[in-house]
């Protein structure tokens, strides 16, 4: 079986396949066609590879234990197989994060970027009527954009560019609750990190503030000399 061969090859390259966690989804009949084991990559990261898929086709999936007692994301994730018919899923079973990214109190499930579509921002900024921003790829499966919106609190989702076939909400799942952000006077940077299953919205300091920060750093350096 192609799936089993891919998993075996990955296990030989990176370590022993873990029976602790498995990948289940539309690509393997939610386990009925055989579980795809995750391989422990170290550092709290596990990876599973599904091969033999239809290039450009979309699949829902979850990372789970064999008895479904522990799984993520909370709603099914959904991603597109790449041009070679491969979907690589990364699973981070920790539920406590302090890296400034979201979700911060949930397990994370990410996947390698297929490179076959971009991402829009949809939300209550404009009544969900059209994208209020489009993200650009910055490398490594990370997408970002910086925009200004009127001060206030908003709900939003990352959406496959052009349609709702795939979306990412608060828990990184396709059917997740809306994510949220608050805007003030400063522009906001939206970032979507697909391989690591995370996203964030941060304020962008004004150029003057950055210059002052740089001058303060230089002054401190001079005092130490």
CATH of domain 2-111: 2.60.40
The predicted model scores a pTM of: 0.86
- The CATH H-level (homologous superfamily) assignment of domain 119-203 is Immunoglobulins (2.60.40.10)
Cα 60 to Cα 6, 77, 220: the distances in Å are: 19, 6, 52
Q: Tell me how far apart the 2 most distant CA atoms of the chain are, in Å.
A: 67
Enumerate the domain spans of the chain.
2-111, 119-203
Q: 146 — phi, psi (to 5°)?
A: -120, 125
Where b means 16+ CB within 10 Å and e means fewer, 54-69 reads eeeebbbbbbbeeeee
Which tokens hold the place of 156?
A: 């939003």
Where b means 16+ CB within 10 Å and e means fewer, 123-139 reads bebeeeeebbbebeeee
* 10-residue stretch averages of pLDDT, the chain, 225 residues long: 44 56 97 96 97 98 96 96 98 96 97 98 98 98 98 98 98 96 98 98 80 46 50
Distance, CA of 154 to CA of 168 (rounded, Å)? 15
- The predicted structure's pLDDT at residue 4: 42
Cα 189 to Cα 134, 146, 182, 205, 209: the distances in Å are: 12, 4, 12, 10, 16
Q: How far apart are the first and last CA of the chain?
A: 65
- The predicted structure's pLDDT at residue 208: 59
- The predicted structure's pLDDT at residue 62: 98
- The predicted structure's pLDDT at residue 5: 37
């Amino acid at each position: 079986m192609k799936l089993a061969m891919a998993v075996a090859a990955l296990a030989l390259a990176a370590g022993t396949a873990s029976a602790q966690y498995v990948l289940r989804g539309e690509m393997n009949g939610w386990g009925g066609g055989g579980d795809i084991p995750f391989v422990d990559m170290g550092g709290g990261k596990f990876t599973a590879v599904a091969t033999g898929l239809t290039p450009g086709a979309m699949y829902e999936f979850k990372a789970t234990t064999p008895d479904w007692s522990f799984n993520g994301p909370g709603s099914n994730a959904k991603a597109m197989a790449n041009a070679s018919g491969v979907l690589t899923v990364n699973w981070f079973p920790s539920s406590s994060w302090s890296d400034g990214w979201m979700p911060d109190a949930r397990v994370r499930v990410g996947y390698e970027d297929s490179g076959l579509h971009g991402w829009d921002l949809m939300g209550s900024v404009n009544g969900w009527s059209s994208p209020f921003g489009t993200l650009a790829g910055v490398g490594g499966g990370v997408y970002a954009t910086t925009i200004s919106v009127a001060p206030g609190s908003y709900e939003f989702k990352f959406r496959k560019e052009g349609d709702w076939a795939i979306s990412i909400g608060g828990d990184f799942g396709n059917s997740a609750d809306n994510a949220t952000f608050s805007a003030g006077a400063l522009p906001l940077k939206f970032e979507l990190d697909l391989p690591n299953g995370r996203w964030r919205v941060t304020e962008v300091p004004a150029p003057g503030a950055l210059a002052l920060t740089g001058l303060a750093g230089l002054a401190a350096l001079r005092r130490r000399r």
